[in-house]
Amino acid sequence: MKKRSNQSGFAALPAVTVIALLITLSLVLLFSQMLLNQDKAASFQLNLDYQQREDVLMRAIVAIFPTKAIACMKANYAASEEYSWKRIFSDSIALSTVSERLSPALIESLKLGTSRSADVGGSTDTQIGSWITSLSGAANQVTPGSTSYSSIFSRSTFTGRVPPTLKMSQTLQDADALRPIVSTQKQYATQDSSLLASISAYPVYNLIPYPNIRFGYTAPGQPFVAKRNWWAFTVNYGNSTRSIAKNYILSLYEIPSQMAIETSTLATIGRYNDGTAWISNQISIDGTIYAKQMNVEGAFGANRLAGGNSINITDSLTLGGLNISNTFDSLGVREQLQADTRSDSLPVALSANSGRLAFLPIQAGTPFLQRPPSTPTPSEWQNYAIGAQKCAVTVEALSMVSYENQTPTRIRVSFLSTAGSTVEVSLTRGDNWPTIFETGGNLMPFQTEFTSSTRPCLTFRASLFKAWLLLNGGASTTVNNSIYFAPGTTGANSTVRVLNSPPAAEDMSVILRSGKDLTDFPSGMSIVSPLRVYVGDDINNVPMAAPEGSGLPVGAVFYPPMSIFAAEVRIGTTSFVRPVQVIGQLGNLGTSGTSGTTNWKPLDLKSGTDESVHADLISAQLSPVRSPAELPPVNQMNWLIVIEEILQN
């Protein structure tokens, strides 16, 4: 019997082998892809950890830095560990807790010493601190953005990626690498293309583009008046497993108050104190309104709202082409607005939630109006933050008719000579200070009078001041353009009352007259006083040619800049109230929580008899400063602190 051979199994064997190999190969590829995905996930998580630690460290530096810079100014820039860059970084590290991670001892006990770590933290604050250096690698230092370090910034890594450098004395430049120096001596060194006004005419505050940040004091790229102080440093994130070096610029923008309406307290926009609404066809606002807190009942043409902590919008309004309601900062609404505009910078924003930045109004409050005692010598901070300290001219009342009648009979006027020294002139009634009715009285810029409400006043006639200065050996009003009025202390007799705050009816007041034409003050005029100030006549109504190099367009209408800082400002000196037109900017010295300034209403104006000026009589054209030429001699200051990475190609 023949046996049948069955070879079908042998015929299928190659196919089975191929299929098995394919399955094995697929499993190998799948496993390899899983490993690649795990590696990508680990790398992504590691980068996320780096980013989170970077962000929290940068935010901490922004929070710590301004208080240390102020402390340095208060100490007149003297060397101290307390406000050194080393201390700034160590305090920032402690605040950000970036050193929190597994300790080396714990890692060894878990037998993970040779494992790849996704924890980029340092085990100690000291270790983290060692990561932060100047651009040249110097520990506990930064590289200041000043001319002494130009060779570093000329490297290909930084060329075209850093702001214009500043200049000051070599001593201060050397100190700036060790501790932050903020000073008016710091000035622009070269006419960079980003500086839109002449640095020879405006070396301190120039016209520069606003940074591309979320907080819109003005629109990104829009010219505004400021000085950009800056310092560069390197952070080497990571450990032996992985390290990333990044370079940063920490900027402090010094921003003189320049917006149409600006205050560091609560402001109500759109309504008077008696509840009357602003009349829309009489009130126009251009640019930005800034307040730490803001109640808004109409934009009146403003295209941006910038707040510190809160903005309350009563009714929806249109800003920058967007419909903005009170929910603008709600989760989801803000993101939708950003998507609609394709920008993080919205026409309504709060500095409190704007990322790696801080907006800090320099809030001197009522001390802004008073000079500190001469002993001890006022600090650099007092000279910087207090308006009265910036005045070139001081007018003090040293003697009055009587304690009950605070009409001055003797005043002391201090001013600067052409050589920069101080000149003092004492004027005494019955001796060398004729009244308006006596010979020579019509040439005197200082006189006395009463308001209709019988307040005793010292009158300043601005149109006569230049000639009087030159006659008495002073420099012109180009230099002597800021005037401080106050009751005297040193040399004053017992007839001079101690000033009340706010001023009482029996206290001396100041009247500003003959100020319609201020072209004798080409660089502007400022009045600072802790007294009540009356605007007795029309003021600053005569235009002049815009200064060369100002950055203003050819043919622009230009008036000498002017500011009045006083405990109270009144319009007129009598009960008769004429229509009032306000052109320029309105500000307020109040600080958050200060009694009596908790709700400022910008257009609440009062007459010489303390009566509110009726809404029908008030018109206003409010707009921002367009050039450093429009800055008055004395102004309030803001600081904008920003940290940005120096990006590479």
Higher pLDDT, 109 or 586: 586
Cβ–Cβ contacts within 10 Å for residue 99, how many?
Answer: 17
Select, from the ranges 119-123, 513-517, 552-556, the one with the highest average predicted confidence (pLDDT).
513-517
Q: Does residue 300 register a pLDDT over 70?
A: yes
- Over residues 204-220, the pLDDT tens digits come to 999 999 999 989 899 99
Q: According to the model, what pLDDT value does residue 130 have?
A: 78
Q: According to the model, what pLDDT value does residue 98 have?
A: 53
Q: According to the model, what pLDDT value does residue 43 have?
A: 56
As a whole number, the mean pLDDT across the chain is: 89
Q: Does residue 12 register a pLDDT over 80?
A: no
Q: Does residue 240 register a pLDDT over 60?
A: no
Higher pLDDT, 297 or 51: 297
Q: So where are the chain's domains?
A: 42-191+224-256+641-645, 392-574
- Over residues 547-568, the pLDDT tens digits come to 999 999 988 999 999 999 999 9
User: The whole model's pTM is what?
Assistant: 0.89
Q: According to the model, what pLDDT value does residue 1 have?
A: 47
Q: According to the model, what pLDDT value does residue 591 have?
A: 76
Name which of 236-250, 385-399, 489-503 the model is least confident about.
Answer: 236-250
Helix, strand, coil % over all residues of the chain, rounded to 5: 25, 30, 45
- Cα 462 to Cα 116, 139, 383, 519: the distances in Å are 76, 55, 25, 10
Q: Does residue 231 register a pLDDT over 90?
A: yes
How many CA atoms within 13 Å lie on the side-chain side of 336? 11
CB 61 within 8 A of CB 92: yes
Element at 206 (helix H, strand E): strand 206-209
- 15 φ, ψ to 5°? -65, -40
CB 337 within 8 A of CB 320: no
Q: According to the model, what pLDDT value does residue 4 have?
A: 52
- Over residues 606-643, the pLDDT tens digits come to 999 999 999 999 999 999 999 999 999 999 999 999 99
pLDDT band at 538 (very low <50, low <70, confident <90, very high): very high
The dihedral sign for the CA sequence 179, 180, 181, 187: positive
Q: What percent of the chain has pLDDT over 90?
A: 72
Higher pLDDT, 109 or 469: 469
Q: Does residue 195 register a pLDDT over 60?
A: yes
- Cα 25 to Cα 31, 36, 37, 242, 634: the distances in Å are 10, 16, 18, 33, 80
Cβ–Cβ contacts within 10 Å for residue 548, how many?
Answer: 11
Name which of 283-287, 536-540, 587-591, 627-631 the model is least confident about.
Answer: 587-591
Name which of 35-44, 160-169, 430-439 the model is least confident about.
Answer: 35-44
Q: According to the model, what pLDDT value does residue 578 have?
A: 85
Nearest alpha-carbon partner for 456 in 528, 403, 394: 403
> Stretch 383-406: mean pLDDT, rounded?
97
Q: According to the model, what pLDDT value does residue 594 have?
A: 42
Q: According to the model, what pLDDT value does residue 34 have?
A: 74
pLDDT band at 501 (very low <50, low <70, confident <90, very high): confident
Q: Does residue 364 register a pLDDT over 90?
A: no
